[in-house]
C-alpha cells in the first residue's frame, strides 16, 4: 500500500513551530513543599474600553506588581523551556497586598476607577518526588539515585480580573511662579515660564499620569537652570491638581437640588473624569533660590596627574605656569596641550547667564574628543556675588597606543571555493594629541587571506589553497573642530556652532587585493570631510572623495570575459571623483527596551568632474543609494533583533558599476545559508553551472531582511553560552537586463521567484571582550533550485541539490564569525 502525503513544507514548518510552543508552555516544578498548595501561575486580565496596545502595556507592567509571596518564580532554560523553582506556599492574604500594589500603579497612570476581582483555582497533579535515602554513607550508591515516590502537587492558579474604568484626562494647565518674598513681587520666573508654555508636555485632553507631571516639572526646572537659576531645584515647585467639579460650588438652599448636583457630578466624573493642574512655586524661604547667577572665570587644568586628584588642593595650588586668555585661564605643570581645543569646546561664556545645558555640554564634548580619559568640573560661587567660577579638571589619556586585532570567519557550502576560511590581522597605532591640539591620528595596517580548506570541488576544477590575499595601509587625522574657509559668512558659522561634536577628517588609504588566477586590484583613496551630530543623528560628509583603481586581469578572468563580454566593463581601470553623505539615527522611543537604528547613505561620482573636465570614462559615473533599519527588543535574558537593508548602485548613461562598488551577500553576516559571495544574481544559474572555477557574484541592487531571536542557554565559567533562531531573506540583482542572462535582472513581478530564504540556529560564546559565533543554516528557498519552485522538499529531504549540469550544491552552510551578525 502506498501512502500519499498532501502536507506542504509550510504546514510542516508550522507543525514544528507548534511543537516548540508546546514545549515552551510546559513547566516542571522543583523544590515545592509537600501537601501544601503552592503558587503555580498568576495572571492579570484587563477589561475595559482601551486600545489593544494600552491593554498589552498595562498587562505587562502589572505583572511586576504581584506580591513576592504570590509570584511564580519561573526560570528559563534552553531559551523556551521554563522550570518553576521554590514556589511559595499559597496564602489568600497576599492577594489584597497585590491588589494594593497594582491599584497604586494604575493610579500613577491615571486610572483611579479600576475595580478588581480575584479568582483562585486549585489543580491536583500526580507526580514523583525524590525521597533522600536515610543512609548517609558516601559509599552507598543509592545516595546517588534516590527513590522517587508518588506525590500530589497542589497547584494554585491566581488570576486578577481588572475592570479598568475611565482614565483621567487633563482639562487645563496653568502656571503661578511668583517670588512673593520680594517687594515688589518678582515675576521673572513667570515670564520665562509663559514664554515656554507652548512647549508644555501637559496639554488639554491628554491622558494623565504621574510620570507626565513629573516630566513637566523636570522640563521647567531645566528651563530655569538654563536662565541663570543655579540653585533652583525640583523641590522648589509642585503641581496642584483640581479635582473638584465647579457645579458643586453653586449655592442652593434646596437639599434635593443639592443632592441632584452631587449625583450628576458623580455620573459626569465616572463618564469623563478630568483634572486641571496648576504648576506653582513653593513659598520662598531662601532668596538665593530665585537669584540669577552669571558665569565668572573659567579655569582649565589639562594635565591632571591621576584620578585621585584633590580638586581643592589643585585650585589652591600656586601655579608657576598659567596662561590667561580673554575666554579663560589654563593652569598646568607641563605644556602638553594648547589652549585652543579647550576654548573651542567650551560653551560657557564669561559674563553670560549660567546655563546648565551649556555646562554639561562642555564636559561631555571635552570627554568625547579622545585626548582626555576623564573630565570633571567644580563650580564655585563667589562670596557675596552672583557670579560662579568654573574649574575643569582633565585627566589625559595615553598619548600613544598600539593594538592588534585578529578576525576570523569560516563558511561551508561555497560553489567554486569549497570550504572557505578567512583570517585577517589588523595592526593599529593611535596618537591622541598631535601638535598639542588634541588632534587624533590613526595608522592601520591590515593583512588578510581567504583559504580553500577543501580543494576537491564539484566542478572538477582544482583551486589553490590561498584563494585571496588582501593588504592595506591607511592613515587618518581627526581634527576636533569644523575647519572651513568661509569664516566671514556669519550665517554659516552660527549654524556650525549649533552642531554637536563637530570634527574634520582627512584620511588616505592604499589597498591591494589579489584574487589568485583571476585579477589583482590596486587602489588609492583620499577623502576630506566632516563628522558631526545633530540631536540623536550623526552625519558624515566627504567632499571630495577620491578613489583611484587599477585592475590587472589574469588568465582566469580573461576566459570569463570570453563567455560573458559584459563582465569586462565591471573589471576596468577607472577613478571615483565625487562625494558621499551619510546619516545614522539611534533612538529608543517611549520604550527603553526597544532600540531603533536608521541609516542612510548617498554616494556620487562623475557628475561635476565630467561637466568641467574631459576625463570621460576615466571617471566612474554613478549614484549609489542605501537605506538600513535595525530594531532590537531586549527582554530579561533574551532579545529579538531584525534588520532590513536596501541598496542600489545606479550607473549613469553609457557606464556600468565597477565590481568594487557592487553588492554581494552570503557568509557569516549575510544570508548565512550561502557561502561568501555565493548567492545570486536573482534566479540566474550562470554562476552555479560555470566550469571556470570563479563563481563570485556581484550585483547592482540588494534587498535583505534578517531576523533573530537570541536566548541565553547557560553560563559556564563566566562565559555566557547562548543560541539563536534566525531567518535570512534576500538576494542581489543587476539593474540592467543582459540578453544572455535575463534572470539576473531585478523585476518586481519575479521578486517572489528570485528571493532566497535561509533558516538556522547556532551557538554563541560570549567572553565579554569578544563573542565567538558558530551558525548552521539551511536553504529553505533557493532561487537556483529548479524543483518545487525553489522551496525545500521536506517529504524527500536532501542535504544537496543537483544542478542541470550535474554539479552537486550543498543545501546548508556552517558559518564561523566574530561578534553578532547585526
pLDDT in tens, 658-716: 888 999 999 889 999 998 888 978 888 877 666 665 677 889 999 999 999 999 998 88
DSSP code, position 749: G
Given a contact cutoff of 8 angstroms between Cβ atoms, the answer to whether 262 and 302 are in contact is no
Distance, C-alpha 169 to centroid of its chain? 34
Q: What is the spatial distance between Cα 705 and Cα 157, in angstroms, rounded to a whole number? A: 41
User: Which segment of 150-164, 228-242, 372-386 scores lowest on mean pLDDT?
Assistant: 150-164
Per-residue pLDDT at 524: 96
Q: Concatenate the DSSP letters of all residues of 485-518 into one string.
A: S-TT-HHHHHHHHTSEEEEEEEEEEEEEEEETTT
The CATH code that applies to domain 293-396 is 3.10.20.310
> Can you tell me the mean pLDDT for 715-725?
91
The pLDDT tens digits of the residues spanning 85-118 come to: 778 888 888 899 999 999 999 999 999 999 999 9
Q: Own/partner pairs for 73-78, CB < 8 Å, 24+ apart?
A: 74/27, 76/637, 76/638, 76/711, 76/712, 77/713, 77/714, 78/711, 78/713, 78/723
pLDDT band per the 50, 70, 90 thresholds, residue 283: confident
- The model's confidence at residue 332, banded by pLDDT at 50, 70 and 90, is very high
Under CATH, which architecture does the 26-163 domain have?
Roll (3.10)
What is the structure's pLDDT at 416? 33
Rounded CA separation 783/787 (Å) = 10
pLDDT score recorded for residue 692: 61
- The whole-number pLDDT of residue 718 equals 84
CA 378 – CA 372 distance, rounded (Å): 17
Which residue, 528, 535, 649, 644, is CA-closest to 584?
A: 535
Higher pLDDT, 20 or 639: 639
What does the pLDDT look like over 781-820, one tens digit per residue? 999 888 888 899 888 888 888 776 677 888 999 988 888 9
Tell me what the pLDDT averaged over the chain comes to.
Answer: 84
Question: Model confidence at 297, in pLDDT bands (50, 70, 90)?
Answer: very high
Question: pLDDT tens digit string along 621-643?
Answer: 999 999 999 999 998 889 999 99
Q: What is the CA radius of gyration of the chain?
A: 35
DSSP for 72-105?
A: --EEEETTTEEEEESPPBP-THHHHHHHHHHHHH
- pLDDT-derived band at 148, boundaries 50, 70, 90: low
Q: Are 542 and 579 in contact (CB under 8 A)?
A: yes
Other Cβ atoms closer than 10 A to 680: 29
0.85 exceeded by the pTM?
A: no
Please report the pLDDT score of residue 170 as a whole number: 93
**Burial readout 244-278 (b: 16 or more C-beta within 10 A, e: otherwise):** ebeeeeeeeeeeeeeeebeeeeeeebeeebbbbbe
The Cα-based distances of 662 to 74, 289, 605, 731, 735 in angstroms read 49, 63, 14, 13, 11
pLDDT mean over 461-486: 87
- Output the pLDDT for position 263: 55
Q: Name all contacts of 56-60 with Cβ < 8 Å and 24+ positions apart.
A: 58/106, 58/109, 58/164
Q: Do 43 and 157 contact (CB within 8 A), yes or no?
A: yes
Above 80 in pLDDT, residue 67? yes
| CA dihedral for 364, 369, 373, 375, sign (positive or negative) | negative
Q: Which range among 188-192, 556-560, 790-794 shows the weakest confidence by mean pLDDT? A: 556-560
Angle, helices 52-62 vs 93-108, to 10°: value is 130
Residues 6+ apart with CB under 8 A from 765: 719, 720, 721, 771, 772, 773
Closest C-alpha to 518, from 463, 446, 454: 463
For the chain, the helix, strand and coil percentages under 3-state DSSP, each to the nearest 5: 20, 45, 35
| Lookup result for grid cell 528571493 | 755
pLDDT at 298: 97
Q: Is domain 400-818 in CATH 1.20.58.1610, yes or no?
A: no
Cell numbers linked to 760? 538556522
Question: What is the predicted pLDDT for the residue at 285?
Answer: 83
CB atoms within 10 A of CB 755: 18
Of the ranges 144-158, 286-300, 550-564, the best mean pLDDT one = 286-300
724, 764 Cβ separation under 8 angstroms: yes
Q: Does 450 score more than 50 pLDDT?
A: yes
Enclosing H/E stretch for 563: helix 555-563
Of 40-49, 230-239, 794-803, the least confident: 794-803
- Cα 503 to Cα 294, 344, 499: the distances in Å are 30, 11, 10
- pLDDT range class, residue 273, cuts 50, 70, 90: confident
Confidence (pLDDT) at 69: 87
Distance CA 436, CA 371 (A): 10
Cross-sheet strand order for the sheet of 147-163: 38-47, 147-163, 115-131
Which residues make beta-bridge pairs with 574?
549
For the chain, the domains span: 26-163, 169-289, 293-396, 400-818
**Strand order in 169-176's β-sheet?**
169-176, 274-281, 237-242
pLDDT of residue 132: 55
What is the pLDDT at residue 741?
78
* 707 membership: H or E segment, kind and range: strand 701-716
Task: HSE, CB side, 13 Å, CA atoms: give it for residue 83.
Answer: 10
Does residue 23 have a pLDDT over 50?
no
pLDDT at 135 over 90: no
Give residue for cell 494604575.
Answer: 106
Query: C-alpha angle with apex 668: 665 to 673, nearest 5 degrees?
Result: 70
Percent over 90 (pLDDT), the chain: 50
- What percent of the chain has pLDDT above 70? 82
Residues 6+ apart with CB under 8 A from 468: 448, 449, 450, 513, 514, 515, 516
Residue 628's pLDDT is what? Answer: 97
**Of 802, 816, 809, nearest to 457 (Cα)?**
809
25 pLDDT above the threshold of 70: no
* Whole-number Å distance between alpha carbons of 711 and 402: 35
Residue 414 confidence (pLDDT): 37
Highest mean pLDDT among 410-419, 523-532, 551-560, 603-612: 523-532
pLDDT reported for residue 17 = 46
- Which of the residue ranges 171-175, 461-465, 742-746, 759-763 would you say has the lowest mean pLDDT? 461-465
pLDDT at residue 579 tops 90: yes
* β-strand pairing of 808-810 with 800-802: antiparallel
Least confident window among 6-15, 188-197, 556-565, 598-607: 6-15
Average pLDDT estimate for 766-782: 91
> Which pLDDT does position 286 carry in this prediction?
85
pLDDT range class, residue 511, cuts 50, 70, 90: very high
Is residue 14 over pLDDT 80? no
Task: Give the closest residue to 172 by CA, choosing from 208, 214, 223.
Answer: 208
**What's the pLDDT at 13?**
45
pLDDT computed for residue 542 by the predictor: 95
Identical topology for domains 26-163 and 293-396: yes
8 A C-beta contact, residue 698 and residue 677: yes
Amino acid at each position: 500500500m502506498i501512502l500519499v502525503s498532501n502536507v506542504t513544507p509550510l504546514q510542516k514548518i508550522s507543525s514544528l513551530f507548534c511543537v516548540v510552543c508546546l514545549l515552551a508552555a510546559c513547566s516542571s516544578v522543583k523544590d515545592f513543599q509537600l501537601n501544601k498548595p503552592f503558587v503555580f501561575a498568576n495572571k492579570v486580565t484587563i477589561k475595559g474600553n482601551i486600545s489593544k496596545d494600552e491593554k498589552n502595556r498595562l498587562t505587562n507592567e502589572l505583572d511586576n506588581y504581584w506580591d513576592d509571596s504570590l509570584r511564580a518564580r519561573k526560570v528559563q532554560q534552553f531559551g523556551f523551556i521554563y522550570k518553576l523553582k521554590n514556589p511559595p506556599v499559597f496564602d489568600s492574604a497576599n492577594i489584597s497586598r497585590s491588589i494594593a500594589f497594582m491599584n497604586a500603579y494604575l493610579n500613577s497612570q491615571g486610572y483611579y476607577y479600576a475595580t478588581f476581582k480575584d479568582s483562585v483555582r486549585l489543580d491536583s497533579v500526580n507526580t514523583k518526588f525524590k525521597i533522600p535515602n536515610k543512609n548517609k554513607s558516601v559509599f552507598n550508591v543509592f545516595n546517588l539515585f534516590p527513590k522517587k515516590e508518588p506525590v500530589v502537587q497542589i497547584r494554585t492558579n491566581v488570576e486578577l480580573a481588572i475592570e479598568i474604568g475611565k482614565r483621567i484626562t487633563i482639562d487645563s494647565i496653568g502656571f503661578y511662579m511668583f517670588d512673593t518674598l520680594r517687594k515688589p513681587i518678582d515675576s521673572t520666573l513667570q515670564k520665562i515660564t509663559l514664554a515656554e508654555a507652548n512647549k508644555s508636555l501637559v496639554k488639554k485632553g491628554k491622558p494623565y499620569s504621574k510620570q507626565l507631571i513629573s516630566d513637566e516639572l523636570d522640563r521647567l526646572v531645566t528651563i530655569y537652570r538654563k536662565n541663570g537659576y543655579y540653585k533652583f531645584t525640583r523641590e522648589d515647585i509642585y503641581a496642584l491638581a483640581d479635582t473638584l467639579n465647579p457645579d458643586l460650588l453653586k449655592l442652593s438652599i434646596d437639599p434635593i437640588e443639592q443632592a441632584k448636583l452631587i449625583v450628576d457630578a458623580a455620573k459626569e466624573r465616572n463618564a469623563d473624569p478630568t483634572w486641571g493642574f496648576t504648576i506653582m512655586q513653593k513659598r520662598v524661604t531662601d532668596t538665593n533660590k530665585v537669584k540669577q547667577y552669571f558665569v565668572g572665570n573659567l579655569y582649565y587644568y589639562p594635565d591632571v596627574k591621576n584620578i585621585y586628584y584633590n580638586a581643592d588642593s589643585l585650585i589652591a595650588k600656586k601655579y608657576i605656569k598659567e596662561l590667561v586668555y580673554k575666554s579663560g585661564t589654563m593652569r598646568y605643570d607641563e605644556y602638553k596641550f594648547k589652549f585652543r581645543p579647550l576654548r573651542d569646546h567650551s560653551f560657557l561664556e564669561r559674563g553670560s547667564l549660567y546655563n546648565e545645558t551649556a555646562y554639561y555640554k562642555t564636559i561631555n564634548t571635552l570627554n568625547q574628543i579622545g585626548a582626555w580619559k576623564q573630565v570633571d568640573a567644580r563650580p564655585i560661587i563667589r562670596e557675596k556675588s552672583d557670579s560662579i567660577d568654573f574649574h575643569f579638571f582633565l585627566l589625559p589619556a595615553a598619548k600613544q597606543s598600539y593594538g592588534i586585532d585578529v578576525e576570523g570567519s569560516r563558511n561551508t557550502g561555497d560553489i567554486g571555493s569549497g570550504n572557505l576560511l578567512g583570517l585577517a590581522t589588523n595592526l593599529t597605532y593611535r596618537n591622541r594629541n598631535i601638535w598639542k591640539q588634541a588632534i587624533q591620528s590613526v595608522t592601520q595596517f591590515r593583512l588578510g587571506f581567504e583559504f580553500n580548506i577543501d580543494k576537491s570541488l564539484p566542478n572538477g576544477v582544482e583551486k589553490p589553497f590561498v584563494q585571496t590575499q588582501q593588504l592595506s595601509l591607511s592613515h587618518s587625522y581627526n581634527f576636533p573642530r569644523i575647519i572651513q574657509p568661509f569664516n566671514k559668512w556669519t550665517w554659516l558659522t552660527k549654524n556650525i556652532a549649533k552642531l554637536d561634536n563637530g570634527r574634520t577628517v582627512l584620511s588616505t588609504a592604499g589597498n591591494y587585493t589579489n584574487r589568485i588566477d583571476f585579477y589583482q586590484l590596486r587602489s588609492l583613496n583620499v577623502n576630506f570631510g566632516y563628522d558631526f551630530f545633530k540631536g540623536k543623528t550623526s552625519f558624515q560628509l566627504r567632499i571630495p572623495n577620491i578613489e583611484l583603481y587599477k585592475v590587472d586581469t589574469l588568465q582566469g578572468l580573461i576566459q570569463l570575459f570570453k563567455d560573458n563580454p559584459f563582465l569586462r566593463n565591471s573589471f576596468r581601470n577607472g577613478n571615483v571623483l565625487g562625494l558621499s553623505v551619510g546619516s545614522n539615527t539611534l533612538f529608543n522611543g517611549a520604550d527603553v527596551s526597544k532600540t531603533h537604528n536608521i541609516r542612510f547613505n548617498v554616494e556620487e561620482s562623475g557628475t561635476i568632474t565630467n561637466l568641467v573636465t574631459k576625463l570621460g570614462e576615466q571617471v566612474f559615473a554613478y549614484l549609489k543609494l542605501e537605506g538600513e533599519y535595525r530594531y532590537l527588543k531586549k527582554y530579561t535574558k533574551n532579545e529579538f533583533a531584525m534588520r532590513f537593508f536596501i541598496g542600489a548602485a545606479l550607473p549613469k548613461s553609457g557606464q556600468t558599476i565597477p565590481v568594487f562598488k557592487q553588492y554581494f551577500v552570503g557568509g557569516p553576516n549575510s544570508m548565512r545559508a550561502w557561502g561568501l559571495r555565493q548567492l545570486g544574481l536573482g534566479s540566474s544559474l550562470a554562476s552555479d553551472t560555470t566550469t571556470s572555477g570563479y563563481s563570485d557574484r556581484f550585483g547592482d541592487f540588494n534587498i535583505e531582511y534578517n531576523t533573530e531571536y537570541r536566548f541565553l542557554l547557560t553560563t559556564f565559567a563566566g562565559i555566557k553560552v547562548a543560541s539563536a533562531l534566525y531567518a535570512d531573506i534576500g538576494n542581489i540583482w543587476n539593474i540592467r537586463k543582459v540578453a544572455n542572462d535575463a534572470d539576473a535582472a531585478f523585476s518586481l513581478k519575479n521578486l517572489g521567484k528570485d528571493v532566497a530564504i535561509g533558516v538556522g540556529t547556532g551557538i554563541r560564546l560570549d567572553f565579554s571582550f569578544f563573542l565567538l559565533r558558530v551558525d548552521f543554516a539551511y536553504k529553505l528557498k533557493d532561487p537556483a533550485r529548479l524543483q518545487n519552485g525553489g522551496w525545500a522538499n521536506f517529504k524527500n529531504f536532501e542535504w544537496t541539490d543537483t544542478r542541470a549540469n550535474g554539479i552537486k550544491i550543498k543545501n546548508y552552510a556552517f558559518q564561523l564569525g566574530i561578534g553578532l551578525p547585526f
